[in-house]
Amino acid sequence: MRVCIVGVGAIGGTIGYAMAKAGFEVSGLARGLTLSALTARGLGFSDDGGEPAFLPIRASDDARDLGVQDLVVLAVKEPSLTAAVGTLKPLLGPDTLILPAMNGVPWWYFHGFGGKLVGRHLESIDPEGRIASAIPAESVIGAVVHFGASCPRPGVVKALPLRKLILGELHGRMTERLEGLGAAMEKGGIQITLSGVIQRDVWYKLWGNMTMNPLSALTGATMDRILDDPIVADFCGKVMNEARRVGAGIGCPIEQTVEDRFAVTRQLGAFKTSMLQDVESRRPVELDALLGAAVEIAGLLGEPVPHMNILLGLARLQARTLGLYPQA
C-alpha cells in the first residue's frame, strides 16, 4: 500500500508513523519547515515522553513527485482544505481511497445521508462546492479521530496512548475496502472501530467540541475551568441541548446526558483545546467545521438555536479581530 499524508502535523503524523511502522510505503505532502524536517531526518514519533524515534518517509511540496497513491490521508485543518484539495490530482487514481482525518462536520456529511437534507451542500464548509468537485465522494472513507497528540516541532509528533479511529463508508455498508483499511491501520497500533453510520459518530464528537473549543478560545481557559464556572457550564449545556435537537432532525440522536458528557470531559483535566492552541499560536481557527456548519444545518431544518448563534457570533468576532478568520 502506498500512503500519502497531506498535512503532516499531530494527526497526520500519528497516522503516517503508524502506517510506516506497519511496513507501508509512506510519503508526505508538506511545505516549509515541516518539509525541511521530514527531508532531513524523517518523521519523528514519541509516545512515552522520551526522545522521538524517526522513520524515513518520502516528502515533497509537489504531488507530482509522489505519484498515484492507494490511500491519501487528508489531515489539514478546515481553513486550509480548499487550497489543499487543489494540489491532490497527481495523487489520485481510479482506486485511490481518501481518508479525511479532520475535526468537525466534513463536506461529505450529507452524501447519501440526512433524511430531508440528503445530498445537501454546506456552504460554510465547502464554498461553491470546490472540495466536492475535486474529491469524488465515492472515494471517501469517513473517519472520526480520537487521538491525544501534539506537534512540538516540525516533523515530530508527541502522542498519548489514546489512538483510536472510527471508520465508515458514507453509505453505511460494510465493504471489503473498509475492512481492509481498518486491518492495515491496526497493524500500526491504531485502534479501529468500523461504523455502520459514520455520520452519527461525527455528530457525537461534535456535540462536545462545538462548545469547548470556541469557549476556550474566547476565554483562554482550559476545559476544567470552563466546567468549574457554573454560569459558563450552564451556557454549554444550553448549546448542547440545541445541538441535540438538530442532531435528532438529521438522524443523529444523542442518548447521553449533558452531565454525563461533562463527566467524560473532566477526565481530560486541564486540557487545552485545539482551537485555543490555534488562537495562542495565531493560526486560523476551525470555527466553521466545529460550529458554523451546525448553525447552518439548524437553519436548513428551521430549528431555532439562539445559544449556538451567540457562541458563533462571539467566537467569529474574536477570530476576525485577531485576523484568524475571513472578514465579512
The catalytic site residues sit at 205
Strand 53-55 with 43-46, pairing = antiparallel
Q: At CA 290, angle to CA 286 and CA 293, rounded to 5?
A: 105
Amino acid identity of residue 278, one-letter, is D
